[in-house]
A and B are shown apart, each in its own frame.
Chain A
Amino acid sequence: MDWGALQTILGGVNKHSTSIGKIWLTVLFIFRIMILVVAAERVWGDEQDDFICNTLQPGCKNVCYDHFFPISHIRLWALQLIFVSTPALLVAMHVAYRRHEKKRQFRKGDQKCEYKDIEEIRAQRFRIEGTLWWTYTSSIFFRLIFEAVFMYAFYFMYDGFRMPRLMKCSAWPCPNTVDCFVSRPTEKTVFTIFMIAVSSICIMLNVAELCYLLVKFFLKRSRKAGNPKHHPNHETKEETKQNEMNELISDSCQNTVTGFSS
């Protein structure tokens, strides 16, 4: 169970996402998870081994390292990526529930069910409408919250995003004040800033997706309000054509009646 398995799980969600959602998923996997695995983990790999304190006092290095790095950047990023990916599973569960309901209808032989076979139900792509819209929007909202919380946690824990070269430590058992030197501070600063930048890009993509969904929702509503006979949620192509035919017939009847009365 590793990042590859997460990719498999989230890959399935991709089918029901908007275009912006698909871009977000790609950015997540390529610019965050992959960078973490192939690069960042090597940079932070020797963080405790090469954290050197100017003392012979046993235990001082351990204590100072623990004091300045309560939780390593790598672990914080791993947790951030897992938490940020997980809301998409809400959408996956909702889609699976809908499919299950449609399969149940199909098996019962429901006349209303418009699918010819079970394979079609499996392959169908659900549109983001109705209750699925709410699930999808809440998942984006949670993603934004988690991203913001983790970025703030980073800033708060490490007093900014820069990795200092030298730390002065006076925790017991260190004698007086001891100078401790961090391993690869510049490279770590570069990667921290990179990951923060990509997090911000992901936040902007999520905000854009949220706006897109809201605009789509309001446009649909205003179209519905402008044309009250039109009910898009439960229509199929045949029903749309039938509706149009009915409208034409009713219009021509109206004209006939009006023509007759006048």
Chain B
Amino acid sequence: MDWGSLHAILGGVNKHSTSIGKIWLTVLFIFRIMILVVAAERVWGDEQQDFVCNTLQPGCKNVCYDHFFPISHIRLWALQLIFVSTPALLVAMHVAYTRHEKKRRFRNGEKINIEELKNEKIHIQGPLWWTYTSSIFFRIIFEAIFMYTFYYMYDGYQMPRLVKCNAWPCPNTVDCFVSRPTEKTMFTIFMLAVSGICILLNLAELCYLVIKVCMRERRKST
């Protein structure tokens, strides 16, 4: 179970998404997950190994690293990507449930073509509209929560070159140097920018769905 399996699972949801939803999914996989796997994981790969403190005191480096990096950026991004992808499964479950109901009606003797049922694209209307809209809403909430968590945990989005540590057993105050701070700052800003773009896409999709429903109601009333 890895990013490839997630890609397979979410690929199925793609069929029932709006165009903006499809663009969002592409941005998620190519500019976030792929960048994480092929580039960011290498940059953070040696983060504890090359975290160097100016002391010979055993245990000081471990304690300082743990104090300044309670949870690594890479793990936070992985969690963010999983949480942000998961609401789409609500939609997949709803679609599967609708299909199951139709198959049940077919078995009970109603005339429906079962092959056509499998390939049918279900339109985003009625209860599916509510499921789809809530999934987008949850996506936006999760993105915002993780972006705020990043900001809160690391006091901004810049990776400092030097951190001053005085946790026990470090003697007095010790200078500790972070590995590759500039490269890490660049990737943090890149991932933040792409999160921002994903939030905008989600908002646009939400507006599009709401406008579509309002127009349909207007057509029905006239």
Contact = CB atoms under 8 A, between A and B. Distances in A.
Contacts, number: 95
Chain B, interface SS category: helix
Contact of B7 (A3, A5, A57, A93): A5
B178 interface: yes
Contacts of A93: 19, 22-23
Given A59-B175, A75-B43, A70 B4 contact: no
Interface string B1-43: 0011011000000000001001100100111011101110011
Contacts of A79: 35, 39
B66 interface: no
Chain A, interface SS category: helix
Given A2-B38, A71-B186, A62 B179 contact: yes
B37 A72 contact: no
Nearest to A173: B175
Interface residues of A, number: 30
Nearest to A79: B39
Interface in B162-208: 162, 175-183, 186-187
Interface string A71-91: 110110011001000100100
A61 B52 contact: yes
A65 interface: yes
A194 B179 CA distance: 29
A82 B162 contact: no
Interface band, chain B = 35 or more
B161 interface: yes
A70 B183 contact: yes
A236 B49 CA distance: 66
A58 interface: yes
Contacts of B30: 6, 9, 82, 86, 89
List of 9 A-B pairs having minimum Cβ-Cβ separation, nearest first: A59-B177, A62-B177, A58-B54, A70-B182, A1-B3, A1-B33, A78-B39, A75-B39, A71-B183
Given A59-B53, A75-B43, 17 more contacts: A1-B37, A3-B38, A5-B29, A62-B52, A62-B177, A63-B162, A69-B180, A70-B182, A71-B186, A72-B183, A78-B35, A79-B39, A82-B34, A86-B30, A89-B26, A97-B19, A173-B175
